[in-house]
Structure 1
Amino acid sequence: MKQYSFNFSFEVLEEFKKLLPVNRSKKILKKYLLNEYVLSESLNDLQEIISETVIQPYWMTEAEIIKLDRLIKQAKTKGYSINRSAIMRDVMNNLVDRYRNKPIQKSKQHRQTFKVPKGIKERLSLLIEDGELTYELSSFIMDGYVPSNDFPSMRNKDQEDLNFKTDIEVFDKMDEISSEYGFKKGGRAKIFRDALNQFEAWLESDPPKKAALKQELKYILTEYKNVENISIIKEEINKYLKE
């Protein structure tokens, strides 16, 4: 699997996260995209420009990307130019409509405080919004995490507490991996720290915060160009960058 980022409507994305539990949302989205989704008859809607969007990364299989690209080619034969994000927005809209009046029963929640290397929470806050950390880390553990086979001890190292509350299935997944490695005590914590380290490295390779700011800047500049000369805009930007 590879990570891909898509632009979604903020409202629809938040509703999607509320309606579908974190431990099942990606699997449901994948199954729907691969087995059920077809292009909307009104392709004009897919070409609509969304002004307020947020960046959402997903781990995608090759089959999912092939399906997206095939749909793009289908749209092109009908004279429409759309991209992967447009299709993913339509997929998510359809799922939100499907589950809005019959939401999936929420999973039980579990909370645990883990000892993690000191400083990692501050570094993560620079890469991802605080309110998104639990959802994204949970999704990563369920769909993207592969154990590194390197589980260093935290003994005699600077530590801090990280409070983690999410669907019980996420903890079950960590326990399952821990059992596979034969850990007797503290196995869940070892798996969590390994997943957290990988998650941080993943974020550093393509920070959602940076992508979101880039998208916001693009929108602002588009609006600015409607009321100001481009040469003046460039001059203002250069002045700001020199400060």
Structure 2
Amino acid sequence: MKRWVGIGLILTIFACESLTEIDLDCLVWHATNVIRLESDLLGEKDDVTVHLSWRWLLTRPSSGSVVVERSIGNMDDFTLIATVTPIETVMTYLDRDTILQPNTTAFYRLGLFDGTDTDYFDTLEVTIPPVQHFYEPAQDTVGNDTLRLIFAQLPGFNDCEVSVYNAFVTDPESLMNLLNPIFVDTLTYPDTSLVLPIPDAIYPDTTIYTIRLLSLNEVEVSGGNLTSISSTISSGFRAFFKKPPFPF
């Protein structure tokens, strides 16, 4: 009798371990970023990134890897783009493939791969926003003490933060990390224009300045007793040279 009790106990433990291993509930969120460079000084360039993150809700799988698959525009053509290891409590993947384009939709499918089979546990739809666009300034040179800004209203967003920096960098990541703006204000759509005084005392001549437009959407996602934030950002950058009022 004791022997059968022992065997039953072993089977029960094995069953619990198996159930734990196949419980792949996750909290999945993303940070999607579209950057548009729009001037001769900065160059003309679009940069799109999707940063995926996921956290196991109950128990982290003890082995294997997570496969990341992507399909653009629909859920009919998933392609393997990454295998993420090792298995951690919180895992991430950064997609910056040039196949990602503004104003499109990307679908991501996550699965646990044990070396032989894949057990898919989540599919995420990511809306990639359109780019920001400047109408004015239309030139890279500003020759007076007034800067007129006109830009396009971005569908899917409520407002746009406008900031000006005494800085000149051309790398998208460095542009997103600019600090200490000289000017910052948030315009609520449909307001898409402003006239900004740029006096010499604050904006010295013969200097290159960078304008940033930034629209942000955030959505809270939750699972179990955990919450996180999915964010979607569209940023536009334009640089201008402030020349003095006389030839030099």
Q: Shared fold by TM > 0.5?
A: no
**Higher strand fraction: Structure 1 or Structure 2?**
2
Q: Choose between structure 1 and 2 for higher RCO, CA contacts under 8 A separated by at least 6 residues.
A: 1
As a proportion of its length, which structure holds more helix? 1
Q: Under a length normalisation based on structure 2, what TM-score does the superposition of the two structures give?
A: 0.24
Bigger radius of gyration: 2
